[in-house]
Each structure stands twice: as C-alpha cells, then as structure tokens.
Structure 1
Amino acid sequence: MTTADLGAWVLKGNADQAGRFAADPHVSHWCVHSGYRMWLRRAGQPVVFWASGSRRNDLAYGIWGLGVLTAPARQDPDDHRWKAPLDLTIAPPTAWMSRRTIRADATLADLKVLRQPQAANPSFLTVAQFTVDRRYLSQHRTGAGEGR
C-alpha cells in the first residue's frame, strides 16, 4: 500500500462499546499500531471508524463514522501506546453502513478489514472503496438508515 492507493484509514473498535459514543460522538484520538503504515499517515487524510466484534444482534457493525487525521500518531508518555489524533464523528445509528451492505457492494466486498479482521489497527480503504463509502454515508447522514 502507498499513499497513492490510500482512500482512507480504517480505525477499528468494538461495537459492544457503542454506548460510549451516545453522550459524545466526537472521537479525538484512537490507539494505532506502530507498524510501517505509521509513516504513511499524514494530517488531513480521511479516516473511517469500523465497529466490529459485536455479539449483540441489535448492532449493525460496519462503518460508523468519518473524519480526518489531525496530526501524525504519537506515543503517549503515560501509557506508551501509539495514538492517532483525530477529528472524527460517529454517525447516528440510522447512518451506519452495515457489514451486510458492504458485502453486497462489488467495490467494498473485499475490504481488508473483512478479509483480515484481526489485522493491526489501522487498516485502509482504497481510493475506489472510499469513494463508494463516502457516497453512501452522505446519502444516509439524515436518512432513514438501513436494516441490520
């Protein structure tokens, strides 16, 4: 992967923790892996939030939010974890893009996060995948949403 191929970074989180976003949907930072991709991340690059791991049937896991990196990742001096500074908002549940919808789209069906769900954080979307994702999210931002 190169920055020319990059549509957006995909930050993963546990869907069972959805309650944390109810009071404040803004996400200002997220833990990331310090692998080779860390050096490809730049301020202003798009980021999507991928909710995974839910054992509850009422949560549509998939893409829940959209934002941008605000600076390169840095190591927290207190807990020594790498964190990416963000300006990201978790959308209302009616605007979440479910895994079922993603798998039904020919461009999105082979997302790396679907093929390798245990891979390190972050994953990525290609330019074509992010174009489809952005179109969907803008159409459903205030719409009735989708079935789970």
Structure 2
Amino acid sequence: MRPAVDRDDLGAWLLKANPAVWDLRGFLDAGERRLTSWAVRPGYRSALMRPDDRVVFWVSGDGRSGFERGIWGLGAVLAPAEPWHDAERGFWTDEGSRHGVRARVEVDVRLLEEPVTAASLRAAGVLDLEVQRQPFAANPSFVSTAQLARLAELLPDWPVPATGAGAVER
C-alpha cells in the first residue's frame, strides 16, 4: 500500500490546533503571533519532515471556542521531528496531554493578520484538503503541490523563516 504522502508531491505540511487541546486563546492573550515548535505524532509522516518544508497552521474544532476553522498561519520546518516529553507543556491543555503526542518539530510559523476560513476555502472551490476530508486525523497532515498552487491565490506571501533568534517555544 502506498503512503498517503511522499516528498515528491508534498506542497506543505499542515499542523492542526484544536482549541480544546491547545490553548489558542491563552496564546493570543499572551501577545504571541509566532509558533516555534509543534507536537506531532511519531510515524512515517513526521519522519519525512525536513528543514525548509513549508507549513500551514490550521485551527480546527467545532467553532464553539469562538475561533473559525481554517488557515491561521504560514511558515516552515526548521529541524526534523524529535522525541518530546510532557516536561514543557506550553499551551497544551490537560486534554492535549492525554492525546499521547510524543514528538515535536521545530518550526517558524507566523500567524496571519486574518485567517483564511474554511468557509472561504469552500467558496473558492478548495474542498479536497486532507484536513477537510479527515478532520480528526493526527498531526501532521499535508497539502499536495497541486492543492498548494490553488491555495496560493488565497494566501499572503510566504514568510521567510527566522533562525530562532528571540523565538518563544510553544
């Protein structure tokens, strides 16, 4: 069986945040606008993550949190995924800790001024992202090269990744 994603068709990794398991409100209230690491499930996908791979940051959930689902940030992978332990929880809630995520990837993801909502994506005919078809799948998800080309019209310019100077780990 062929894996769902391979490097030949990878446009970007998609990292999902569910406000029920990661405190997006607390992150924003702390004045944060940049992610420097993210929890991912160990496996073939996280093993494929490489420095300079593009990253799309997606907020999921049922909308009751007050945050609209959709693309909230753009960035890049800075280092391969590595084992991670709960010693530094950051904005992960108790619910997030129960999900058993045991790897992290170093990233530089900057939040957009305004998210590109799931409704905006549907209106533009973007209906086939893995996160739309399988919203409960584990991190990381992915965007194919063809999908990323279609998203380009809806997204701002991709930020240039920082080298970590002054970054706050999350």
Q: Establish whether TM, by shorter chain, passes 0.5.
A: yes
* Count of residues paired in the alignment: 136
CA distance in 2, matches of 1:28, 1:116: 25
Matched, 1:18 2:7: no
- Two-structure CA RMSD over aligned residues (Å): 2.0
The match for 2:155 is 137
**One-letter amino acid of the counterpart of residue 90, structure 1:** L
What SS does structure 2 have at the residue aligned with 1:114? Answer: helix
Matched, 1:7 2:25: no
Matched, 1:64 2:82: no
Which structure 1 residue ranges, 5 or more long, are not aligned? Answer: 140-148
Identity %: 38
- 1:39 alignment partner, one of 25, 29, 47: 47
Which structure 2 residue ranges, 5 or more long, are not aligned? Answer: 88-100, 158-170
CA deviation string 1:19-42 (max 9, x = no partner): 213411110000001111122110
Matched, 1:87 2:108: yes
Structure with more helix by fraction: 1
CA distance in 1, matches of 2:75, 2:11: 12
CA distance in 1, matches of 2:130, 2:85: 31
The answer to whether the 8 A contact 1:15-1:54 is kept is no
CA distance in 1, matches of 2:124, 2:63: 24
Change (3 A) 1:62 1:77: closer
- 2:146 alignment partner, one of 125, 128, 132: 128
